[in-house]
């Protein structure tokens, strides 16, 4: 029986896009601590160097690639440089421009669909065949609760993430018979540098926290833990799934209990 141990990902190789900060960095740090050589790709060179230093300072191994992930040629070169990876984490996403649907320009759609969806598809197509030939591999796509909990002003981002979930299921059906598992993790709102403008608003944070039965917002480590489990052999029979990490926020309508001096039932 496979169990989830601290060395569950030893001697594996993982490519993580958007690995310079936030959720991507947390995933990289955790996987490296479990023995994985992590290949980090982003356009943020200072962030990559910081993440790499954190990983190597803890005894892990990291390879850093400063890449424009919107450039198909650069992405193809990245896939070649990454080599025979066992794990692919499609995490990269741009910041969300909050514009009304009818006022959102084509450029905003191109940005979100390009980085979140097209780049992920390109990397799956580039690295999936090698995984299939070797008879093993794990692909994890990072989605968003905005796919099912629609909110105004983020249509391009939410649509791109929804498309990524569809790709997840289809890849699972087609690559599963060849030993490659494809899953997604769907986080709820998670404070990171990418949404610093929202994190700076105490009223917004309090509102988000009130929607979660566990009474707090997600931490990047919560998302990383779910990803690491999906990558491990402990999840060897999990394929084509979207794992929601939201503290129970999507379980149903949740409102904090109303304080009352009256005994229950009276």
Mind telling me the catalytic residues? 157
Beta bridge partners of 39: 15, 63
Could you tell me the end-to-end alpha-carbon distance of the chain, in angstroms, rounded to an integer? 51
Output phi, psi for 241, to 5 deg.
-105, 155
Cα 28 to chain centroid, rounded: 11
Residue 189, number of CB atoms within 10 A of its CB: 24
Phi and psi torsions of 128, nearest 5°: -60, -40
Angle ∠(113,225,121) on CA atoms, nearest 5: 25
E strands, 3-127, in order = 13-17, 37-42, 61-66, 87-90
Element (DSSP H or E) covering residue 75: helix 72-82
Beta bridge partners of 140: 89, 183
Phi, psi dihedral angles at 185 (to 5 degrees): -115, 130
């Amino acid at each position: 029986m496979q169990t989830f141990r601290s060395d569950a990902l030893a001697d594996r190789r993982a490519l993580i896009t958007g690995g310079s900060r936030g959720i991507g960095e947390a995933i990289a740090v955790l996987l490296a601590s479990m023995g994985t050589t992590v290949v980090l790709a982003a356009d943020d060179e200072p962030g990559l160097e910081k993440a790499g230093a954190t990983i190597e300072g803890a005894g892990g191994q990291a390879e850093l690639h400063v890449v424009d992930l919107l450039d198909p040629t650069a992405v193809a070169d990245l896939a070649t440089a990454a080599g025979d990876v066992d794990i692919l984490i499609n995490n990269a996403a741009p910041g969300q421009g909050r514009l009304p649907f009818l006022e959102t320009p084509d450029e905003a759609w191109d940005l979100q669909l390009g980085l979140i969806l097209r780049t992920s598809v390109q990397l799956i197509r580039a690295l999936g065949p090698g995984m299939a030939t070797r008879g093993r591999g794990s692909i994890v796509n990072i989605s968003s609760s905005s796919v099912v909990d629609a909110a105004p002003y983020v249509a391009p981002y939410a649509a791109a993430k929804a498309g990524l979930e569809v790709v997840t299921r289809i890849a699972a059906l087609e690559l599963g018979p060849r030993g490659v598992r494809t899953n997604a993790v769907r986080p709820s709102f998670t404070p990171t540098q990418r949404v610093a403008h929202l994190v700076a608003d105490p009223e917004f944070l309090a509102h988000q926290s009130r929607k979660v039965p566990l009474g707090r917002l997600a931490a990047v480590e919560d998302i990383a833990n779910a990803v690491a489990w999906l990558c491990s052999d402990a999840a060897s029979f999990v394929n084509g799934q979207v794992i929601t990490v939201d503290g129970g926020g999507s379980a149903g309508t949740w409102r904090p209990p109303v304080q009352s001096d009256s005994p229950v039932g009276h």
